[in-house]
Amino acid sequence: MTNETQASVKQITKIKRWTGRPAGRWITARKVTQYLALLVFVVLFIWSRRGGLPSNLVNTPMRLDPLAVLTHLLANRTFLAGSALALITIALTLVFGRAWCGWLCPLGTVLDIVSPKHWREKKRVDPPETWRSVKYSLLLVILVAALFGNLTLLILDPLTILIRTLTTSIWPALDQIIIAIETTLYRIPILAGPISNFDMAIRPKILPSEPLFFRDTLLFAAVFVGVIALNFIAPRFWCRYLCPLGGMLGMLSKLSLFRRQVGEECKGCTLCTNVCPTGTINPTKGYASDPSECTMCLDCLETCPRSLIVFNPGLSLAEWNDYDPNRRQALASFGAAIAAVALFRSNMLAKRDTPYLVRPPGARENNLMSKCIRCAECMRTCPTSALQPSVMEAGIEGLWTPVLIPRLGYCDYACNACGQVCPVQAIPPLSLDDKRTQVIGKAYINQNRCIAWSDHRDCLVCEEMCPIPEKAIWLEKTEFKRVDGTLVTVQLPQVMRERCIGCGICEYKCPVNGEAAIRVYVPETQVPF
């Protein structure tokens, strides 16, 4: 290396420090795009609550996701017009490679933000290149399983991870922190007014008017923290080695138009190798990179002291690497997927539902399991947070599909939001009138726990709450003899099963401690599987 090169290397290294460095035009453009995309994603997330933005707008991110759209297509053999948006992402990839990952993906941006700073300044030891094949294995398993009607592993799609975590962990926790601050400051007389106004300003527009509760909040936070923590092994660890969507876009990038090329005058200063967040610039191959791994972040472009890196259009199939899927891996994935699907089909849950597997309105009849892309949009939009990620009810196969837990929230008689917001119509888009007659479960009274039945005291909360115009609970006056010999007349609630739609407000409001004295059970199967 000449003195001149060394000097410029020093200079660039200095510039490359993350604090206060003047980034070049390309990097600035990329970062602005990334933050804007993340902002749009979060805004759409915030206003995907019922009463926010139109439902076919808030689910745009999921419909832009080609992995979700393709697997849904394979599993159902039906194409939804709205899903054509995914073609935009595919077209983008065919032109610019994995630009989605580097420029748009909100999870990618989060990983860039929390990436340890020293990665960009020091030489590092990356995990073996063969690890990169994991994402392709996952992708193949997901695609083959989808062909047999199983979408379980879409829980690993980056967008579903982010929406699920925001819905079940981050937002409710943020809400609790703000409630604690408000409660505290409200007690200070001079702050009571401003706090009250602040609350009026943020609720119900940004935070819910009532705190939301989700099960396993810690679990979802832990998964998310895990994905971020992997960043400390290597930058964008998730995107390089694990992300099935990244794998899919990587395969498409083998055909992409714009490719990174290095000029022949390269002196091998290794600056670009060190700065590359996906570690794909290979010094042994003349500092070339794999278009399937490159996220088009353009860091190398502006790092190169001699400006030898160009991104030029060209038509060719990219080189096949050792870690790219081979026949053995494809067969193994194929076998694994078929074995898993067969095991799921022979699982007892395929024969008998668990008693409390109450699904969102209209979903059961439509084979929710093979339609649901696990995106958690329905749980986000549900105004009462009645829809919860399934953990046990639907088995491993139905992990994190929506299930209605009436003790946590009830299906609001005035709401049909989940069906409207579902990007793949796994929950059918019922009109409000149709939803009001849609049977999602049936309520049963536990006479051993009911205040009226067992304690002979009037309660009737379930009857009061029942939203059915003619009431699905009727009251029978019965005389009882107390221990002391006195006679009491008690109104005993009874469910008129044929009227009950299973909305669960009776179970939600039942004043009995712990398990309610009236519970909603899964309805009889209406369409054979």
Which residue, among 32, 27, 35, 171, has the nearest Cα to 108 in the 3D structure? 35
Query: In degrees to the nearest 10, what's the CA dihedral of 16, 22, 27, 29?
Result: 170
Paired tokens of 370: 């093979």
Nearest to 144 by CA among 340, 334, 326: 334
Helix (H, G, I), strand (E, B) or coil at 180: helix
Least Å distance, CB 50 to another protein, is 8
Closest CA to 106 of 173, 164, 147, 56: 164
CB 520 within 8 A of CB 443: yes
How many other C-beta atoms lie within 10 A of the C-beta of residue 517?
A: 26
**Distances from the Cα of 100 to the Cα of 108, 253, 277, 290, 509, angstroms:** 9, 11, 15, 16, 46
Work out how close the CB of 469 gets to another protein at its nearest, in angstroms, rounded to a whole number: 3
Handedness of CA 22, 24, 25, 28 (dihedral sign): negative
CB nearer to another protein: pick between 349 and 460: 460
CA distance to 145, 264, 266, 267, 386, per residue, from 5 (Å): 53, 16, 11, 9, 63
**Least distance from another protein to the Cβ atom of residue 416, Å:** 12
Residue 243 Cα distances to 227, 437, 473, angstroms? 10, 41, 50
In the complex, the smallest distance separating the C-beta of residue 522 from another protein, rounded to whole angstroms, is: 23
Q: Give the shortest CB-430-to-another protein separation in angstroms.
A: 16
Q: Cα(67)–Cα(375) distance, rounded to whole angstroms?
A: 12
Q: How far is the CB of 193 from another protein (least distance, A)?
A: 11
Query: Least Å distance between CB 461 and another protein?
Result: 5
In the complex, which residues of this chain contact another protein (CB under 8 A)?
50-51, 179-184, 186-187, 189, 196, 199-200, 203-204, 209-211, 383-384, 412-415, 451, 457-461, 463-471, 475, 491, 505, 509, 511
Only one residue has tokens 């009061």, namely 464
**Smaller CB distance to another protein: residue 183 or 447?**
183
Q: Which is nearer to another protein, 251 or 468 (CB)?
A: 468
Q: Decide: helix, strand or coil at residue 455.
A: helix
What whole-number distance in Å separates Cα of residue 63 and Cα of residue 85? 6
If the CB atoms of residues 201 and 317 are measured against another protein, the closer one turns out to be 201
211 or 226: CB nearest another protein: 211
Min CB(273)–another protein separation in Å? 30
CB closer to another protein, 25 vs 187: 187
Identify any residues that bridge with 518 across adjacent strands, giving them in sequence order: 445
Nearer to another protein, 112 or 175 (CB): 175
- Helix/strand/coil for 492: strand
Cα–Cα distance, 464 to 482 (Å, whole number) = 26
Calpha distance 158→193 (Å, rounded):
42
Q: How far is the CB of 502 from another protein (least distance, A)?
A: 15
State the DSSP string of 284-329. GGTTB--TTT-----HHHHH-TT--EEEEE---PPPPPTTS--HHH
CB contact at 8 A, 311 and 364: no
Q: How far is the CB of 384 from another protein (least distance, A)?
A: 8
CA distance 134 to 244: 9
Output the smallest distance, CB 126 to another protein, in A. Answer: 27
- Compare residues 367 and 491 and give the one whose CB is closer to another protein: 491
What gap in Å lies between CA 117 and CA 131, rounded to an integer? 23
Cis-peptide, bond into residue 429, ω within 30° of zero: no
CB of 449 to another protein, least distance (A): 14
Nearer to another protein, 36 or 180 (CB): 180
**C-beta of 10 vs 457, nearer to another protein:** 457
Judged by CB, which is closer to another protein: 265, or 433? 433
Question: Which positions ≥6 away from 432 have C-beta within 8 Å?
Answer: 414, 415, 416
Please give the structure tokens belonging to residue 416: 């049909």
Q: Which is nearer to another protein, 469 or 485 (CB)?
A: 469
Nearer to another protein, 152 or 420 (CB): 420
How many residues are recorded in the chain? 529
